[in-house]
């Protein structure tokens, strides 16, 4: 483990104290030496980096937990993301977004939440091919979406499942999901393969059973 690279994504449990009250994620920021290039007031909570010709962005979606400490967290984050992706596109980097909470309500009710209202317009503006989320303990892959509707040139949103012991029965399939699986029986993992013109995503249970195997195109006219 000491020799494996990690690109952590801040989640809601990192912003709780031992008595389950909201608290700054100080243990998280102490543990992970990530780039300190994120939005103002969010040192090491959001960041971006290049690996090969792919630009990865890890967003801070802990608005529910941290908004009293940083009321402009989402607007600052969206402005930073806009500038960050603009520079990445100028360098002809392909894009992947990492975020803990998804842009839609949890459990899913068909509504874009506050996080989605901040970030979805930026994803659409820069035609981000792939967004990876978590939080709901299920696996789901959307159809490509742009401006809230199916669009072949839009963004694919993948909820990456659960790696721990806790399932979540309240998870729901979204109206735009092409694939959905609630792994109540065992944890799952995903493999991401970066190809010259696409990303391949393979989702498996820990026993090797394949849940999904999909291609997301990244070179678009």
Name the average pLDDT for the chain: 91
Label residue 1 by pLDDT band (50, 70, 90). Answer: low
Q: Are 27 and 38 in contact (CB under 8 A)?
A: no
**Which domains does the chain show, CATH number per domain?**
12-187 (3.60.21.10)
Residue 192 burial by CB count (10 A; 0-12/13-18/19+): exposed, middle or buried?
middle
* 63-106 pLDDT tens trace: 888 888 899 999 999 999 999 999 999 999 999 999 999 998 77
Pull the structure tokens for residue 147: 């401006």
In this model, does residue 220 exceed pLDDT 60?
Answer: no
Q: Are 77 and 118 in contact (CB under 8 A)?
A: yes
* 19-65 pLDDT tens trace: 888 888 888 888 999 999 999 999 999 999 999 999 999 999 998 88
Residue 20 burial by CB count (10 A; 0-12/13-18/19+): exposed, middle or buried?
exposed
3-state secondary structure of 118: helix
Distance CA 123, CA 144 (A): 12
- In this prediction, residue 221 carries a pLDDT of 47
pTM value surpassing 0.85: yes
- In this prediction, residue 214 carries a pLDDT of 98
- In this prediction, residue 3 carries a pLDDT of 83
């Amino acid at each position: 483990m000491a020799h494996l690279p990690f690109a952590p994504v801040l989640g809601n449990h990192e912003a709780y104290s031992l008595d389950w009250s909201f608290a700054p994620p100080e243990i998280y920021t102490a543990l992970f030496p990530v780039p300190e290039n994120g939005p103002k007031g969010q040192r090491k909570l959001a960041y971006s980096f290049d690996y090969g010709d792919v630009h990865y962005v890890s967003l801070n979606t802990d608005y529910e937990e941290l908004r009293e400490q940083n009321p402009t967290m989402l607007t600052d984050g969206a402005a930073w993301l806009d500038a960050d992706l603009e520079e990445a596109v100028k360098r002809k980097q392909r894009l992947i977004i990492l975020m803990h909470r998804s842009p839609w309500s949890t459990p899913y009710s068909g509504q874009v939440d506050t996080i989605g209202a901040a970030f979805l317009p930026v994803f659409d503006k820069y035609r981000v091919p792939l967004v990876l989320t978590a939080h709901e303990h299920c696996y789901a892959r959307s159809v490509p979406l742009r401006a809230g509707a199916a669009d072949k040139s839009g963004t694919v949103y993948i909820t990456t499942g659960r790696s721990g012991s806790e399932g979540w029965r309240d998870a729901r399939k979204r109206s735009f999901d092409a694939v959905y699986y609630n792994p109540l029986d065992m944890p799952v993992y995903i493999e991401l393969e970066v190809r010259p013109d696409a990303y391949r995503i393979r989702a498996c249970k820990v026993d090797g059973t394949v849940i999904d195997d999909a291609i997301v195109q990244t070179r678009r006219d």
